[in-house]
Structure 1
Amino acid sequence: MRTDFDPGQLGPRDFYKFLTSVVVPRPIAWVSSTSPDGVDNLAPHSFFTVASVDPPIIQFTSVGEKDSLRNIEATGEFVVNLAPAGLIQEINATGTNFSADVSEFDAAGLTREPSAAVRPPRVKESPAVMECSLHQTLRVGDCVLVLGLVVHAAVSSDVLNGNHPEVARLDPLARLGGDEWGSLGPVHRLPRIRASQWPGSFTPRVTRGETLDTPGGD
């Protein structure tokens, strides 16, 4: 048995709550931007993903008109800082609806770090940052998709294994439904099966907490 949900009957706000409860976990773009007046803004946005590999473009969604969006459209620059689980209190604090003349860096007690290629500062406490120039904004319904061309990236050396950032060391925070947040659980390594290997080399399903190495994956 299933329970049906009709977006038209629920209304936008209630269906938004439904969407954010089932589209989980969601990575967080911890976006720093600077207003034309020089105020540094910092806010978490949990509709976030990669939009293009070549050129490297990342994307987050502004639900409504917010300071991040206004600053980025005015200046054409922003930084996406990785949101680590150890800073959950600070990340939550930067989601407060402060007035535009208040910097969340100062309100949450976070440290500005100069960026290499853009004006907005990076979050020094974040283990990985991507500096972006605005590629495009796209209005979809009551939201705005913000696409940024990554012009520079920097990662704390202590989270690297060679040139590869290790997810356990990054310890990323995720948004769930309502007031719920998530952190990294068991990590499963399961390479993709090639068509040439199907079905003879198909292996049993991995159970939670186990790892499985299958040749021929990405």
Structure 2
Amino acid sequence: MVFEVEKASTREVYNLLIGLVAPRPIALVTSMDEEGRLNAAPFSSYNYVCTDPPIVAMGVMDRPGGGFVPKDTARNIRRTGEFVVNVVTEDLLQQMNICATDFPPEVSELEMAGLETAPSSLVKVPRIRQAHAALECREHMTIEIGRSRVVLGQVVAMYVEDEFVDPAGPYIKARDLHAVGRMNGLGGYVRTRDAFVEVPRIPYAEWVKGKR
């Protein structure tokens, strides 16, 4: 089948795209408004895009319905310029899903999910205490595209529990961290536990040698 985007509805494009661009890392983002109220929300339209400087990108759709009303996360980042990406691992999957619930403004997602916070190193927004790793970010820029916003955040500090760091690199012990990924919009996720496949890169000299 071929789907021409101009002939498809926004929902159809969304359903197809999120099923094909997968698995996706999940950013459980903590942000804060001007009064210090915290918000926690997961986003799977997320990844790092460069390392010098270190920049992560996150797509945040506007609220459903008419108008161009930003979600709390996008609004908080625009107004305070800071946020924290908490890495979602197997043991946080259910709590992350609770944070995705559309609670009314007066309800704390963190409280409903039974999550606690801990002070960050360089930004005012706290990280989630139960998260084994987190990226402290300052807004680099926000780009408005249609009814979505692409938030570019510069990573200014990284928190990782000692047991998940190999100091030789330093490298992340990804096999032990057990991050999870998003597969589609129907509640589909994928575990990384016992799922790693090693495919070493082939140096050009070895490639040429193997062709002889």
TM-score strictly above 0.5 = yes
Question: Which one of 142, 148, 164 corresponds to residue 171 of structure 2?
Answer: 164
Runs of 4+ in 1 over 4 A off after TM superposition: none
- Structure 2: which 5+ runs fail to align? 63-69
Q: 1:208 is matched with which residue?
A: none
CA contact (8 A) 1:39 1:101 kept: no
1:79 CA drift (Å): 0.3
Counterpart Cα distance in 2 of 1:98 and 1:4 = 38
Letter in 2 for 1:26: R
Counterpart Cα distance in 2 of 1:5 and 1:199 = 40
Question: Which one of 187, 199, 205 corresponds to residue 179 of structure 1?
Answer: 187
Letter in 1 for 2:42: P
Counterpart Cα distance in 2 of 1:148 and 1:19 = 23
Q: 1:99 is matched with which residue?
A: 104
Counterpart Cα distance in 2 of 1:19 and 1:74 = 30
- Structure 1: which 5+ runs fail to align? 203-218
Q: 2:67 is matched with which residue?
A: none
CA contact (8 A) 1:28 1:83 kept: yes
What are the within-5 Å matches in structure 2 for residues 6-155 of structure 1? 6-64=4-62, 65-155=70-160
Change (3 A) 1:98 1:186: same
SS in 1 for 2:176: helix
Letter in 1 for 2:198: R
SS in 1 for 2:210: coil
Letter in 2 for 1:62: V
Cα root mean square deviation, aligned: 1.4
Counterpart Cα distance in 2 of 1:42 and 1:28 = 13
Q: 2:65 is matched with which residue?
A: none
Counterpart Cα distance in 2 of 1:200 and 1:105 = 56
CA contact (8 A) 1:39 1:102 kept: no
Per-residue deviation, residues 73-101 of structure 1 (Å, max 9, x unmatched): 00000000100111111000101112233
1:63 CA drift (Å): 1.7
Counterpart Cα distance in 2 of 1:32 and 1:38 = 12
TM-score (norm 2): 0.89
Per-residue deviation, residues 152-205 of structure 1 (Å, max 9, x unmatched): 111011222223221122111111112211111521222222333324337xxx
SS in 2 for 1:198: helix
Identity over aligned residues, as a percent? 34
Counterpart Cα distance in 1 of 2:199 and 2:153 = 31
Counterpart Cα distance in 1 of 2:200 and 2:130 = 32
Letter in 2 for 1:200: K
